[in-house]
Amino acid sequence: MGALASWVVLAVALGQSSAPYVRSRVSPGDDTTQCLYWTQTRVVWQQSTVGNQKVTNHTEFQAITDSFKSWQDVFASCGNLTLAEGPRVDSRTVGYARTGDNINLILFRTRACRDVVDASDACFAADTCANTYDCWDDSAGTIAITLTTYDERTGIVYDSDISFNAASFNFTTGNGGPCGIVSSPGCVDTDVQNTATHEVGHFVGLDHTLATGSTMNPSAPPGEVSKRNIDTGSQSFVCAAYPKGSASKPCFPVPDTGGNGDDDDDGDGCSAAAGGLAALPLLAAASLLARRRRRGAR
């Protein structure tokens, strides 16, 4: 037992908390389940080499680098984690790779799956269209999705990938005013850094909050850039969950992972399921992927 796919129902409690920060849970929104967190001290993330194929100046790469740097600055001051950018990679595959090199990937999808994949394709039911056809298969109204793979028992994160919906949204990196009917040079439509800074919050284990001014507020109107700056509530999450000089903090004691007393999930028992969630106003919620941990993996 325990080897089958386990679907995580994404009943994220949109609008139900305005705490300074809300940690992501094994079951989203269920405070009786474990929090998600990284235990390693260095997490490498990498951008897809193609960037956003809908633009030509490719300033999106720097905007994403800047988003991670904002978080890294907070970790450097009071956290225990190093977020390091690795070389750009050709991979277009999100999710956790059980074998070989796993990549924490950042990429833009520029085509909607419904536009490029036959409706009868089995990939829709299998939830594999995005990787198979390199397309956006979540809600058209979702700006971006962070897909996180974690151990359901311990909450420990193994992988996190961020996908941007460039099929539906016009991503910009300028510093001008909001784009109007006639867009001016440098105007802001859906800001890359604004979006990425929010998604990196999911990457490190934050859920949404309705706290005023929070980077983790789920809404993001066109023209918004305020989420480029990490609010003090989200900063306090870093200091509390990833305290400098000590181990990362779960929300409950982590169950003993020693070698007895539990049924096993071995071999091909690892399976997972993703649930995309279109957070209502616009910005995406984390899409959380559950993965059963292999016994004896450590």
Adjacent-strand bridge partners of 272: 291
Site string for Zn ion, 138-157 (x = CB under 5 A): --------------------
Rounded to a whole number of angstroms, the minimum distance from the CB of residue 202 to Zn ion is 6
x/- map, 169-188, Zn ion, by CB under 5 A: --------------------
Contacts of 248 (CB under 8 A, 6+ apart): 37, 38, 39, 80, 81, 241, 242
C-alpha closest to that of 219 among 228, 208, 229? 208
Nearer to Zn ion, 142 or 248 (CB): 142
- Rounded Cα distance between 16 and 30, Å, is 12
Q: Is 12 among the residues that bind Zn ion (CB under 5 A)? A: no
Minimum CB–partner distance for residue 283 and Zn ion (Å): 5
* Cβ neighbours of residue 77 closer than 8 Å, sequence gap 6 or more: 244
> Hey, is 136 helix, strand or coil?
strand
Binding map of Zn ion across residues 228-267, x = CB under 5 A, - = no contact: ----------------------------------------
Query: What's the min distance (Å) between Cβ of 138 and Zn ion?
Result: 12
Cβ closest to Zn ion, residue 110 vs residue 214: 214
Number of neighbours of residue 115 by Cβ within 10 angstroms: 9
* Minimum distance, C-beta of residue 28 to Zn ion, in the bound complex (Å): 11
Residues between 271 and 290 that touch Zn ion (CB under 5 A): 283, 285
Q: Residue 201 Cβ, how far from Zn ion at the closest point, in Å?
A: 7
- Pair 177, 187: CB distance under 8 Å: yes
Name the one residue in this structure whose structure tokens are 């003090």. Answer: 232
Those residues whose C-beta lies under 8 Å from the C-beta of residue 260, and which sit 6 or more positions away, are none
Q: Which is nearest to 217 in space by CA: 237, 197, 203?
A: 197
Cα 217 from Cα 227, distance rounded (Å): 9
Q: With respect to Zn ion, which residue has the nearer C-beta, 147 or 187? A: 147
Nearer to Zn ion, 283 or 290 (CB): 283
Total binding residues for Zn ion by CB under 5 A?
Answer: 2
Enter the DSSP assignment of 151. E
Which phi and psi angles does 146 have, rounded to 5°? -110, 120
Output 43 or 285, the one with its CB closest to Zn ion.
285
Report the candidate in 290, 283, 288 with the shortest Cα–Cα distance to residue 139: 283
CB of 277 to Zn ion, least distance (A): 9
- For the bound state, the minimum distance from the C-beta of residue 48 to Zn ion, rounded and expressed in Å, comes to 20
Q: Which is nearer to Zn ion, 104 or 234 (CB)?
A: 234
- Contacts to Zn ion by CB under 5 A: 283, 285
